[in-house]
Amino acid sequence: MDVFAMDISALSRALRERKISAVELTRSYIDRIDARDGETGAYLTTTFEQALAQAVRADERRADGEAVSPLNGIPMALKDNMATRGIPTTCASKMLKGYVPPYSATVAERLEAAGCVLLGKVNMDEFAMGSTTENSAFRITRNPRDPSRVPGGSSGGSAAAVAAGEAVFALGSDTGGSIRQPASFCGVVGLKPTYGAVSRYGLIAFASSLDQIGPLTKTVRDCALVMNCIAGRDARDATSSPRGGGDYLEDLEGGVKGLRVALPRELMGAGVDAGVQKSIQGAAARLERLGAHIKEVSMPALKHALAAYYVLSSAEASSNLARFDGVGYGVRAAHYDGLYELYARSRSEGFGAEVKRRIMLGAFALSEHYADAYYGKALRVRTLVAQDYARVFDEADVILSPVAPTVAGKLGARDKDPVKTYLGDVCTVPASIAGLPAISVNCGEGEGGMPVGAQLTAPAFAERTLLRAAYALEQGV
């Protein structure tokens, strides 16, 4: 039994049939992390002692004949921007080094209640800003498919842990692509749910109107299983919706016969690698063979989505990150003279370069004489993008596109010009600013044999359609 290749469903069956215990399974994963994570670099904190205690409880619940969740006894990891009571939560920032939250995120509580075993907290770009995980203040994470390459980001630790068999699944967060893009780069499945489908309570905020938590898993079915646990209304997050609840497995095997699939021209043109284009065309052809109808469409507002995203997300970040002032929590400068210096020095020392860049960009976009020209305009673009989607969804059920224009690049090869890095987010940010669900599922290989993800996007709360289409694609790869 190769427990590192098995998905949640397979492991859950093995646990039910007593072929393995949760303690044995957890020990295997701990040994695997000990053996491999020196190279992968996925974990910032491991919680092995606690994991074994959780595994013991998971076994006891089963032995007592309790009706347990399919997640009972499954070892997993959380991105380090989700608060975990008593366990360091750093956002991969010096600013929060040593910060131990007094409470847990709703998703962490729900997974724990389902009997999941938390192996630890995984790496990310600092405050979730970035696309390679190289913005982490603490360590480099490598792509398990090729250790000379990045795992993507910002949920790079989550994707790498799953791809390396160092966690059965992980949660990530996605503001402009941070679940989908690393999933694509590491060849795993990643779902960004509809804005509001999953509670953000306890997720350290980057851009509150965009942030969503979602699963990174080995299979599409696992994505549905994790959603069944984490999605749904939470009184502690006013933006969470009851429409997020229910059974995500419902339509999984329904097939794609008659499914209307739109291919937006704007996401398949210049700038998209040949290998990526070929894989996406292959995915379209496969869906067509299975009975779907493919139609090319145009979404003209998408060409402005990237610029709007960077204005909106930075504006919200500049406001959200104002709380890290050296007073309430996190790092405080050792030497300062007066309150202003306390703030200025703590923030200068605590934040990395990319975070500072976003704060400055955002503060500028919101400043008195520029707010309408930048922030106001970006809000109007946001409406236009949402209207483009609404129009396409009048005649299509899902939209198919690449997740990213390229496969994972080499470590350390990022362009000095940050805008070039931002351009890599061109395919993922549109669904983010429209608040729509989107999934990344592997559909082939590109340059260097690296995985390519197909992105499927659906109307709000139509995750079941996404999962059904992604499942059909997955069976063919």
The residues that are catalytic are: 79, 154, 178
Measured CA to CA, the distance from residue 31 to residue 48 in angstroms comes to: 10
The least CB distance from residue 154 to ligand GLN, in Å, is 4
Collect all residues with Cβ–Cβ distance below 8 Å to 397 and sequence separation of at least 6.
259, 260, 261, 458, 462, 465, 469
- Residue 131 touching ligand GLN (CB under 6 A): yes
Decide: helix, strand or coil at residue 116: coil
The least CB distance from residue 176 to ligand GLN, in Å, is 3
CB 217 within 8 A of CB 162: yes
Q: What is the DSSP string of 278-301?
A: HHHHHHHHHHHHTT-EEEEE--GG
The least CB distance from residue 172 to ligand GLN, in Å, is 9
Measured at CB, which residue is nearest to ligand GLN? 178
Contact window for ligand GLN (CB under 6 A) among 17-25, 128-136, 320-328, 450-458: 128-136
Q: Which is nearer to ligand GLN, 21 or 81 (CB)?
A: 81
Q: Looking at 46, 84, 178, 440, which residue binds ligand GLN (CB under 6 A)?
A: 178
Contact window for ligand GLN (CB under 6 A) among 16-24, 46-54, 125-133, 140-148: 125-133
Q: Looking at 25, 114, 129, 366, which residue binds ligand GLN (CB under 6 A)?
A: 129
CB 214 within 8 A of CB 171: yes
The least CB distance from residue 183 to ligand GLN, in Å, is 12
| Cis upstream peptide for 154 (omega within 30°) | yes
Measured CA to CA, the distance from residue 47 to residue 51 in angstroms comes to: 6
Measured CA to CA, the distance from residue 365 to residue 315 in angstroms comes to: 6
Q: Which is nearer to ligand GLN, 45 or 131 (CB)?
A: 131
CB 83 within 8 A of CB 89: yes
Contact window for ligand GLN (CB under 6 A) among 173-181, 251-259, 279-287, 465-473: 173-181
The least CB distance from residue 440 to ligand GLN, in Å, is 12
- Residue 266 touching ligand GLN (CB under 6 A): no
The least CB distance from residue 129 to ligand GLN, in Å, is 5
Site string for ligand GLN, 196-225 (x = CB under 6 A): ----------x-------------------
CB 443 within 8 A of CB 176: no
CB atoms within 10 A of CB 409: 23
- Residue 174 touching ligand GLN (CB under 6 A): yes
Site string for ligand GLN, 294-333 (x = CB under 6 A): -------------------x--------------------
For the chain, the straight-line distance linking the first and the last C-alpha, in angstroms and rounded, comes to 23
Which residues face 217 on adjacent strands? 189
For residue 176, give the nearest of 203, 151, 201, 153 by alpha carbon.
153
- Residue 128 touching ligand GLN (CB under 6 A): yes
Query: According to CB under 6 A, which residues from 372 to 401 bind ligand GLN?
Result: none
Q: Which is nearer to ligand GLN, 30 or 105 (CB)?
A: 105
Binding footprint of ligand GLN, residue count (CB under 6 A) = 13
Q: Looking at 12, 21, 136, 154, which residue binds ligand GLN (CB under 6 A)?
A: 154
Residue 457, φ and ψ in degrees, nearest 5: -125, 140
Collect all residues with Cβ–Cβ distance below 8 Å to 44 and sequence separation of at least 6.
80, 88, 90, 92, 120, 121, 122, 123, 136, 138, 139, 157
Residues that bind ligand GLN (CB under 6 A): 128-131, 154, 174-178, 206, 313, 425
